[in-house]
Structure 1
């Protein structure tokens, strides 16, 4: 206990719709995070008091393991109202409209920093991950939806409203959709033609269904294409072009040195092979394409990124 308690520590918590995972880290003198504790419990989805209690029990247990009271970073789905601190959208209904960070600070009596789970993914890959040491990077989640985060010199850039990296709700050009015979789709966010409706894993399945397929999962569509299925190949080609246009817009907007893919589609090898050339077709000549990289930490990066966010806010 004495050896551990002489160190600084931080807890990172990844909040999901079905599980909460806490990882307790000791902080080495050089700033490296060393995992000392990990625990996962089911997410109380409907009861905010039960949610708070679950977090408190996890944090107290981690404190006991590490031998000191540590600050907490939480990665949450959805976004937070920068003015009120209330959660605006989440796949955990109990959190909607709640001042999550403030409530947990009062309950835990310590610094608590809340960030978007996709931003936490980006931060983890920027510090010690696939984009470690690069001047800038964008972490692009391609899972059920599409979101991400932007880091410069290993630090997360959150923006005025804390939503920097919400690229999934940019709109694809109607002319590009028309070129491929893809309809303009309404998005639950209230906009139309949002990227995530087309380029996410869900979007790829919907494209497959639109062109007469069964709407299979992304990995199955890729396997069919590799086996010679013409429809699957057509759908993957359209998907790559739509995604390439989105990434080309990222290049023209923030010009990252690398784009690290996350989520289920990060497992599709053809994206790393085809995207650079496909992106170049949407940009003027002479530009260098950012490296398109697979994630180093993958799904395990959520809690780590949350811990890093807490340290960025409370060095």
Structure 2
């Protein structure tokens, strides 16, 4: 019985800029048996570590566990040589050996990914990509990024960066076509895809052309109300997004693309996006199905639990 208890569940922790969520998933059915969210400690690294330790202890107590494996979706990028977080939307984590420090505190099997990769893994198992030989989860939120799964397994790559399509560059001819500047990116590169096609990128495009909006939904609303500027910006955004997803098709040729993030909730996008992707592919290349997610914003923690159970 003790061995069965140890392997009954896997914990998944999704660390976001405003919240941290832990879910415990049944090892056989993937049903969620426990869930808890807390606010993310922003400026206190040791408080952050203590908060995760307490989340795991609370789950252990409720589920009568002692050493359940934990998958953790860390924000940003982790340098595999030094173990340090290179960038994160939780400032207190940047430059810290988060993985090593959590291992020392939790003293159990840990698996690490990022929130984008965990989203993809979740959608590959019981989600919108269930049954497909390969899938790409493309996040269109505050930023743009994703994850790639092959036969249900996450492909992380040499640096753990597989899926970071948001930091590919928009070609100069597209920027010139639409009269757009080369925008600096926080990653240190210039002209990154995410600065143009993410939700925040859409807002930046609208403002560049003289519009006034604080979030992407307002741009869609203005277009629906007949605003010519908003419609022009959405056409530009669609062209840039179509090109970036066409590049994904040429690079990894997924059998399905699952969109995530705030823009994935805009239903009309699914009707027009396939043609926008096809416009940037050569003759004979088929655009794979582009579909909305099944688990929405719950995918990160669920995917992290799948990491723990893999």
Question: Which TM-score bucket, shorter chain as reference?
Answer: over 0.9
Q: How many residues align?
A: 309
Specify the SS of the correspondent of 1:61: helix
Report the alpha carbon displacement of residue 216 of structure 1 after superposing the two structures with TM: 4.0
| Alignment pair present for 1:47 and 2:44 | yes
| Alignment pair present for 1:61 and 2:58 | yes
User: Structure 1 residues 186, 7: closer, same or farther in 2, change over 3 A?
Assistant: closer
Corresponding residue for 2:190?
192
- Tell me the alpha carbon deviations over residues 182-229 of structure 1, each in whole angstroms, 9 at most, x when there is no partner: 111111211111001100001000110111111342112112212221
TM-score normalised to structure 2 length: 0.96
Report the alpha carbon displacement of residue 44 of structure 1 after superposing the two structures with TM: 1.5
Q: 2:34 aligns with which of 30, 33, 37?
A: 37
Specify the SS of the correspondent of 1:119: helix
Specify the SS of the correspondent of 1:120: helix
Is the 8 Å Cα contact of residues 120 and 301 (structure 1) preserved in structure 2? yes
Report the alpha carbon displacement of residue 252 of structure 1 after superposing the two structures with TM: 0.6
Corresponding residue for 2:254?
256
Report the alpha carbon displacement of residue 245 of structure 1 after superposing the two structures with TM: 0.3
- Tell me the alpha carbon deviations over residues 287-307 of structure 1, each in whole angstroms, 9 at most, x when there is no partner: 111111001001011100111
Matches within 5 A, 1:167-182: 167-182=165-180
Corresponding residue for 1:18?
18
Structure 2 gaps of 5+ residues are none
Is the 8 Å Cα contact of residues 208 and 216 (structure 1) preserved in structure 2? no
Report the alpha carbon displacement of residue 270 of structure 1 after superposing the two structures with TM: 2.3
Report the alpha carbon displacement of residue 108 of structure 1 after superposing the two structures with TM: 1.1
Q: Distance in 2 between matches of 1:167 and 1:305?
A: 19
Q: Distance in 1 between matches of 2:267 and 2:26?
A: 35
Q: 2:293 aligns with which of 292, 295, 300?
A: 295
Instruction: Let me know the Cα RMSD of the aligned residues.
Output: 1.6
Q: 2:138 aligns with which of 128, 137, 140?
A: 140
| Alignment pair present for 1:82 and 2:80 | yes
Is the 8 Å Cα contact of residues 101 and 113 (structure 1) preserved in structure 2? no
Q: Distance in 2 between matches of 1:111 and 1:95?
A: 21
Q: Distance in 2 between matches of 1:185 and 1:5?
A: 52
